[in-house]
Structure 1
Amino acid sequence: MIRPKLSLRRPLAILGAALIGLTGVVAVATPASAHHTTITATADCDRLTGERVITWKVENSEANKDATLDKVTANPDTPVTSLVDGVKEAKPLQGLVIDQASSKVAVQRVPGNTTTATLTVHALWIKEGQDTKDATNDGTINLAADKSCAPSPKCVEVDKAEYSHTFDGPKGTATVKLDGDLPLCGEGKQWFTLVSYFAPRPQFATPQYVYGTPDSDWIGGTQTEITLNVEIPDCHTQVDLIWGGKDEVIDELVDGGKRYDNKKLGSPGAPGNRSKGPQGWYNGGNKSCTTPASTFASKCDGSVAVSLSNDGKISKYAVEFEVKAENGFTKKVSVAAGKADSSIVVPAADAGKIEVLVDGKVVENGTYSWQRPEDCPLPAITTKADCENFALTATNPEGGLPVKATFTYDGKTETRTVAAGASETVTFKAGKDKTAIVALPDMDLELEAIYTPEGNCGGGGAGGEEPGLPVTGAAAGGIAAGAIALLIAGAVLFVIARRRRVTFTA
């Protein structure tokens, strides 16, 4: 019996078909695992642009086949370029050929806030006489762990700028400099001002008044450093280096008024603490911003008139004067700036050494003692003589001081104090001496009177005759008048030369 051929061939055909299919699966599957690209990446930050710069490296897994990058997809979707043959010419990564067992490096720029980037590469491996192989591979880089990339600033905003400064209060100079290498942005400017004041004390005290013209300048654009200078008063002062222009200057610092506070550079708070350096304020000076002065005028009655003035060229404040005298007198008076006061008179009884003080210190030329004015009338000395007596009288004009008079004749001396507007007479018995001396020690004056009695007193008297007969009549009055005339002459001589003894005839 002959069996049909088909009965044998059909199972064999089915088995062969199954083997081809399996081979095809292997052929398709195996290359997929054998041919591939390896993609790795690193990233950096471009501070000029603020972009992330990713460097992708794509390696060919095959040692004997070139890989053609058929398709390249990036996420984020920005260009991925490669340098070709070392020439600095960037070309797209897609379409490039990676030599066998080699790699290509490509660069991609992505926004600075990118957290993840992926590169997907579809590659082809073609070799003559062999089937084409292909594979798609991914590479991913995580950027979330890095800080966001931001461009380096090209300038600094005015409200964020920091400064440094120098300050010399006693000299009235300061400098301010913008810190860092960046200028202020745009048209931004920051003003600073140096100002000096009159001050009542070398420590902080009020009121204070601006002295001269404050110096103000700004930092901005290409101007990154300034120098400020102000004049300093030749007296107590305050100098301040402040944040802001001249519109920030306080013309008068008064009790309970505005203050600069943290506007002074070097302060602990804003804005002054945005500048590093010494404290930008100074209090000092070695003398008062007033020019107190005093003058004195002696009066014939022994009192002293004291005039006080506060009108010097740097007077800015009222002055509290104190006038003190050695014998207990004291009085205080306030004199306003630019004014004078001449109301104080130190009585003769309280005079002695007089001092004018301000703040407990004697003002310049502020010490004085009474001196007899040259135009005060002098005491008058008159005499009356006869054969028995020699009388000397001292008369002190009204409006003057009491005068001490010492009368000396024939070895005897008597002293009298003559009140103003009064007279004192001393009578001596006629003796052998021809002269008597009247001394006025308070005036440094001595007067010499010659005993010349009227008439003939006999042989026993000073005149060569026996005394005892008084001389009267017109002749006596003439002698007295002559004595007064001589006294006046003596007074004139006294003014010219003190301590000279003036002789006149009684």
Structure 2
Amino acid sequence: MIRPKLSLRRPLAVLGAALIGLTGVVAVATPASAHHTTITATADCDQLTGERVITWKVENSETNKDATLQTVTADPATPVNVPSTSAKEVQLQGYVIDQASSTLAVQRVPGNTTTASLQVYAEWLVDGRKTAEHTDKGSINLAADKSCAPAPKCVEASEARYNHTFDGPKGTATVKLDGDLPLCGEGKQWFTLVSYFAPRPQFATPQYVYGTPDSDWIGGTQTEIELKVEIPDCHTQVDLIWGDGEQVIDPLVEGGKRYGDKKLGSAGAPGNRSTGPQGWYNGGDKSCTTPAATFASNCDGTVAVSLSNDGKTSKYPVEFEVKGENGWSKKVSVEAGKADTSIVVPAADAGKIEVLVDGKVVENGTYSWQRPEDCPLPAVTTDADCKNFALTVTNPEGGLPVKATFTYGDKTETRTVAAGGSETVTFKAGKTKAALVALPDLDLELEAIYTPEKDCGGGGAGGEEPGLPVTGAAAGGIAAGAVALLIAGAVLFVIARRRRVTFTA
């Protein structure tokens, strides 16, 4: 009979790293006689194969007799072998346990096994003659442990977990697969980074996608991705979401769809399957509008104001307020991408105009009325005879009233000439050869030379001989203005900055 002997102090090297975890709930049958075997067991999980590995320990109760294991019955009915350094397996059945000793035997069972038992029928011999026999049974409960399964070589996309970084103000994020295992098969998981125009630096709607969202996936050998989007130069929201570009909501509106727990770093699934900071950001210090104002002065003293909201970042309506100098004001809302040219500031309020948005003057939003260069100018005509010297100022329609000061000799008269009207002042002809017409609103002075249309009897007015038409040094001001020659007398009209223009009458 074969009687292999093994030292119990030798480690079971063949079990090695494949066996992890310890299960030890064992029931042992009570021996019915002095001669018996005691059976106990421990169990491990072989993660390479997914099997439970049970190590049975069978002890000989006798200190002076060897025990021969004649019959061994295992449940489940898989082989029960004594570890050996030889290539040949040593079965527990037929094995001889030395007196006062024990042996170990290994049994492999399926990973989902809940209980296992080992029954041993042993005989004790003296001089080859059987002196005793006994059947004993031991069992082990595996139900308390989770089923044993092979160590995974990959992770299913539905079970995978991730970690991420997120920098909202910079529009960057990374996502990385946790652990060392790739996703199984052709599995892929998409992630998307998206930025928005926003009406305020806190969450508010509506929001409109800015630029192009960045989407990428993790799968196969690709276990980490980087995402980057452009950020508008105004109020914005940036979101890192679970899914591809088809998950992007554009626009985000009041009462509409929301990302909810799709945002990475959320409390619920699927966003909570990635560890990291909250994957959303609201900020920006400028409004996503481009309010602008332009001005045009009219000859009648009014100012036309054009309001526009059509810049690159104009995504929302703008409430403009136009204020005049004397308390006049008007509010106008201009939609994104639109302009309004209907605002006309009255002449009385056009001295200083301001255009405001949210109480602040917009860039280049201050203006005062300036006389347009192409406005028609007042005309001066004269009518002279031997007794009278008459001067008339005519103001064209469509302009402002003008103040006119008439001076001849030591006489001065002042008139206000309405737009579309005229004013005439008649002086008694005297020895003075020239009259002066001043238009202070236009910064103009015009000089008229007294020249009657007929001979006044050898001496003219005052007995002097009438002279020839006279033009003075101020005639050089013609280069700076406009000249109008009218039928009713010789009229010279010039725009000049406090220059005197001489003409004859």
Bin of the TM-score, shorter chain as denominator length: 0.7 to 0.9
In the alignment, structure 1 residue 43 sits paired with structure 2 residue 30: no
CA distance in 1, matches of 2:312, 2:464: 72
Distance (Å, rounded) in 1 between the aligned partners of 2:368 and 2:189: 62
Q: Return the alpha-carbon distance in structure 1 between the equivalents of residues 125 and 432 of structure 2.
A: 166
The offset of 1:61, in angstroms, is: 3.8
Quick one: structure 1 residues 141 and 410, their matched pair in 2 at CA, closer, same or farther if it must change by over 3 Å? farther
Match of 2:299 in 1: 300
Match of 2:149 in 1: 151
Asked if the contact 2:431–2:461 (Cα under 8 Å) also holds between the matched residues in 1, the reply is no
2:27 is matched with none
Q: Secondary structure at the match of 2:212?
A: strand
Is structure 2 residue 199 aligned with structure 1 residue 200? yes
Instruction: Work out the CA distance in 1 between the residues paired with 2:202 and 2:475.
Output: 62
In 2, the alpha carbon distance for the partners of 1:61 and 1:93 equals 17
CA RMSD of aligned residues (A): 4.0
The percent of aligned pairs where both chains have the same amino acid is: 74
Question: 1:241, CA displacement in angstroms?
Answer: 1.8
Pairs within 5 Å for 1:48-447 = 48-84=48-84, 86=85, 90-128=89-127, 131-143=129-141, 146-151=144-149, 154=152, 155-382=154-381, 392-407=391-406, 414-426=413-425, 437-447=436-446
Q: In structure 1, how many angstroms separate the alpha carbons of the residues matched to 2:434 and 2:170?
A: 75
Taking a change above 3 Å as real, the CA distance of residues 466 and 187 of structure 1, as seen in their structure-2 partners, is: closer
Give TM-score, length-normalised by structure 1. Answer: 0.76
Note the alpha carbon deviations across 1:221-255, whole angstroms, 9 max, x for none: 33332222222233333222222222222232233
1:12 corresponds in structure 2 to: none
Preserved contact between residue 51 and residue 110 of structure 2 (Cα < 8 Å): yes
- 1:493 equivalent to 2:480? Answer yes
Structure with the greater alpha carbon radius of gyration = 1
SS at match of 2:210: strand
- Structure 2 alignment gaps of length 5 or more: 1-31, 483-493
Query: Structure 1 338/115 Cα, relative in aligned 2: closer, same or farther at 3 Å?
Result: closer
Please tell me whether the aligned partners of residues 323 and 330 of structure 1 are also in contact (alpha carbons under 8 angstroms).
yes
Equivalents in 2 of 1:500, 1:216: separation in Å? 72
Deviation at 1:277, TM superposition (A): 2.5
Residues 86-144 of structure 1: CA deviation (Å, up to 9, x unaligned): 5576422222333343322111223444444332223344443x623342342424425
Unpaired stretches in structure 1, ≥5 consecutive residues: 1-31, 459-464
Structure 1 stretch displaced more, 238-247 or 388-397: 388-397
Classify 1:304/1:262 alpha carbon distance in 2 versus 1 (closer, same or farther; 3 Å).
Answer: same
**1:138-194: per-residue Cα shift (whole Å, max 9, x none)?**
242442573234326514443333332222222222222233344334433222222
Q: CA deviation at 1:77?
A: 1.9
Q: Which amino acid aligns with 1:98?
A: I
Query: Separation in 2 of the partners of 1:205 and 1:442?
Result: 53
Partner of 1:17: none
Moved more, 44-53 or 379-388: 379-388
Answer whether contact 1:454 1:470 (CA < 8 A) is retained: no
**AA paired with 2:257?**
K
Contact 2:56 2:106 in 1 (8 A): yes
Q: Give the secondary-structure state (helix, strand or coil) at the position aligned to 2:129.
A: coil
Q: Give, in angstroms, the shift of residue 380 of structure 1.
A: 2.9
Q: Which amino acid aligns with 1:45?
A: C
Aligned partners of 2:198 and 2:109: how far apart in 1? 64
Q: Is the 8 A contact 2:477 2:496 kept in 1?
A: no
Amino acid aligned to 2:254: D
What CA distance in whole angstroms lies between the structure 1 residues aligned with 2:218 and 2:429? 104
Q: Distance in 1 between the 2:181 and 2:191 partners?
A: 19
CA contact (8 A) 1:199 1:289 kept: yes
Larger displacement relative to structure 2 (108-117 or 403-412) = 403-412
Q: In structure 2, what residue type is equivalent to 1:499?
A: R
The separation in 2 between residues aligned to 1:466 and 1:497, in whole angstroms, is 32
Provide closer, same or farther for how the CA distance between residues 126 and 299 of structure 1 changes in structure 2, counting only shifts above 3 A.
same
Offset, 1:371: 0.8
CA contact (8 A) 2:309 2:336 kept: yes
Counterpart residue type for residue 53 of structure 1: V
Q: What is the TM-score when the length of structure 2 is the normalising length?
A: 0.76
- How far apart, CA to CA, are the structure 2 residues paired with 1:493 and 1:290? 44
Closer, same or farther: CA 409–82 of 1 in aligned 2, 3 Å: farther
Cα distance in structure 2, aligned partners of 1:211 and 1:172: 11
SS of residue paired to 1:349: helix
Give how far 1:333 is off: 3.7
SS at match of 1:107: strand
Mapped to 1, the partners of 2:247 and 2:478 lie a distance apart of 72
Change (3 A) 1:82 1:392: same
- The amino acid across from 2:134 in the alignment is T
Aligned residues: 460
